[in-house]
Structure 1
Amino acid sequence: MTNNRLVQKKQIAVYARTLFDAAYAEQKLESVLNVRVRLQELCRALRSDSQIAQTIQDSALSDAQKMQLVASIFDSTPADTLLKDVLGVMAQRGELALCPAVQQAFEQLIVSELKLCVVSVTSAVALDDHLRELITNKVEADLCMRVVLDERVDRSLLGGIILSAQGKCIDASVKSRLEIYRDQLKRA
């Protein structure tokens, strides 16, 4: 079992490194961040619908059919072409289950190679330039590294923001505060 884990770990590292190096050679930071987003989307899709992964890895399909199925998931952007090629190989080898680990290794390469932290910022409304600059400066000072914001709007938050980076989350949303108050009132 140890050898299998070591082999898997090496395969994950190779997939992540291949994606990172090819993306960085393409358009530097922009391409790396695009691959990051698309890889996250794919991992979410595979988690939410296990039938996708099962279909792609079906042993009754030829390698060409597997590559065609993987290709149908993506558009024709450079990030998608790159992912299509790597994921096609993973599908042929029956290794799509490694996608979340490849995504995590890819994230670690962004931090270690680019000295960059991607911070997810979810807010009820789109950030303006001033708030974007304040958040960036604060997080850069706290983490002592360059930061890129990955912004998302979630109207269900009512107000406030949620920041997440490197496995840590700061929830300063109105919705979470209301839930805390509701729980306190229930206990009182």
Structure 2
Amino acid sequence: MSLDLRTVADRYAKAVFELASEQGQLDAVHEELTSIKAVFEANPNLAKMLTGVKLSLDQKKSLIEALKSDASQLVSNLIQMVFDYGRMNIMVVIIDEFERRYDQQNKRVHADVVTAVQLDEPRRAQLRQNLLTRYGAKEIVLHETVDESILGGVIVTAEHKTLDGSLKSKIEQIRRLLIK
């Protein structure tokens, strides 16, 4: 019986999270894993190359050594184990699962924010404060996008919920009420 990739990734992430926590290295490991994730995102074919047949074993080992070059022992061991078991295709998923645990422990919420215009600093700070209160978080990480089609207001998606305060959706609501 084979396990799905998310389950496998969660097991790796849980093990690394618990070890990093026990060793008091949680923040450092989080930072390292975030950097490694950035490497995979900047090189979208890297995981495929490390699990595929196009590269020789020596070429793959050289890429793995480059990934491990500045890593702590814990992160280096993770990379090596994931490579040895032929699971480099789920490295980003492992890191995502680790980050989910890290965020949960640190009461950190990621929020996707869509506005019609770029937020200035006072509005960004106010939005962040409102979201801190709403979600009971210690930290809010905003991922901002500008979409002029919403006309005004803001759409926030966080914790699997969407708060739509856009002018476009309010106009739609009024339009539906008038059509009835």
Deviation readout 1:94-134 (Å, 9 max, x if unpaired): 2223533540341222221x232233323233322221222
In structure 2, C-alpha distance between the alignment counterparts of 1:12 and 1:160, rounded to whole Å: 38
In structure 2, C-alpha distance between the alignment counterparts of 1:41 and 1:124, rounded to whole Å: 31
Residue 67 of structure 1: how far off its partner (Å)? 5.4
Normalised to the residue count of structure 1, the TM-score between the two structures is 0.58
- 1:184–1:69 Cα change, 3 Å: farther
Contact 1:119-1:149 at 8 Å conserved across structures? yes
**Kept after mapping to 2: 8 A contact 1:162/1:172:** yes
Cα-to-partner distance string for 1:129-179 (whole Å, 9 max, x where unaligned) = 22122212221222222122323232444433222222222233345556x
Asked if 1:100 corresponds to 2:93, the answer is yes
Cα shift readout 1:12-68 (whole Å, capped 9, x = no counterpart)? 323556788757137x9xx48x928x748956985xxxx553323114534552355
Matched, 1:55 2:49: yes
TM-score, normalising length: structure 2: 0.60
Kept in 1, the 8 Å contact 2:12–2:94? The answer is no
Cα distance change, pair 94–146 in 1 and its aligned pair in 2 (3 A):
same
CA contact (8 A) 1:12 1:98 kept: no
1:115 maps to 2:116: no
> Structure 2 vs 1, CA of residues 127 and 45 (structure 1 numbering), >3 Å: closer, same or farther?
farther
In structure 2, do the counterparts of structure 1 residues 174 and 56 end up closer, same or farther at CA, with 3 Å as the change threshold?
Answer: farther
Mapping of residues 148-163 of structure 1, within 5 Å? 148-156=140-148, 157-163=150-156
Match of 1:137 among 126, 129, 140: 129
Q: Which runs of 5+ in 1 are unaligned?
A: none
Counterparts in 2 of 1:17 and 1:121: CA distance versus 1, 3 Å: farther
Q: Which has the larger helix fraction?
A: 1
| Residue segments in structure 2 that go unaligned for 5+ positions in a row | none
C-alpha RMSD over aligned residues: 4.7
Identity %: 17
DSSP-derived class of the 2:165 partner: strand
1:125 counterpart residue number: 117
